[in-house]
Amino acid sequence: MKTRYLKIIAVALFCWITLGIQAQTASESIGKEVTLLQPDFSAKWSIGIKLGASWTTISQSNWGRIDETYTSLYGGDIGVTARYAFTDWFALRADLSTMTRSYRMDRNLNYLDPVYTNHINRFVMLPIMADFSFGGKQLQGHAYCGGYGSYWWWESRDGRTYWMTDYYVYFENFDEDRKFNSEDQRFIGGVVGGLGVSYTLRSLSKKDIVSLDVLYYYDLVSHHKSYSHLSDPRYLNTLTVTIGWAFSF
């Protein structure tokens, strides 16, 4: 745990130093002295919404496992965005969204291969990212990097299971919410990064911005707790593609 916090602090320092280098470079190019992170123009807020799709895979150990295979499932990502531009090339962005991070398990043992489970997980996500933008005044590209905290809100699972007698195997469909237990780590976090493109609409008041973002969420906190003598961490990896609309002021 301490090591993880130290690494988060190290990243923050990296970003701080990076921004400082950029600020220094910008100040040299315009011949003015600036201190770290103080903007040389009127900062701008933009508030918006985003809506899109997600694809999730699960990373876990295969040690001791039987015959299951895990594949990704589609989900959704819907939420609000807030962006504060310090300069014309650097902003800080925070989102608050509900995201579906789902995956599927299939059994492969010959007479049990009809058995599968779709794990549909809903998370409340709070990514906070540095937004490095480039390009023109209307059409801009963005590179994002940052971290996120999230809350595992609920899980439902549907699929097909089996029950047995001495002679027969029967299959039964199911669809129900899963009750969380003491093995579930509900507050998790990780790093996020990606690319985006935005366009400021000319036809309206120049304050409407539409965007398309591709972000990759990489868990660093396992959603499955370990025991003191047996660790079995599991991590989700989610790619999202969202379209957004924001109002800038």
Q: Using CB under 8 A, list all residues that contact other proteins.
A: 4, 7, 10-11, 14, 18, 21-22, 59-61, 63-67, 105, 109, 112, 117, 132, 134, 143, 145, 157, 161-167, 170, 172, 174, 176, 181-183, 191, 193, 218-220, 222, 224, 226-233, 235
* Alpha-carbon torsion (163, 169, 172, 176), positive or negative: positive
CB of 5 to other proteins, least distance (A): 11
- 227: phi then psi, degrees, rounded to nearest 5: -95, 165
- CB-nearer residue toward other proteins: 174 or 187: 174
Integer Cα distance of 93 and 133 in angstroms: 12
CB of 232 to other proteins, least distance (A): 5
CB of 159 to other proteins, least distance (A): 9
Q: 116-135 and 44-60: which strand pairing?
A: unpaired
Q: Which residues does residue 157 pair with via DSSP β-bridges, in sequence order? A: 119, 176
CB of 102 to other proteins, least distance (A): 16
Amino acid, single-letter form, for residue 111: Y
- CB-nearer residue toward other proteins: 90 or 123: 90
Q: For residue 132, give the nearest of 195, 73, 185 by alpha carbon.
A: 195
CB of 66 to other proteins, least distance (A): 5
> C-alpha angle with apex 26: 37 to 16, nearest 5 degrees?
35
- CB-nearer residue toward other proteins: 123 or 144: 144
Residue given tokens 């549907």 in the structure block:
158
Phi-psi region at 163: left, alpha or beta (left = phi > 0; alpha = psi -120 to 50): beta
- CB-nearer residue toward other proteins: 227 or 249: 227
- CB-nearer residue toward other proteins: 204 or 230: 230
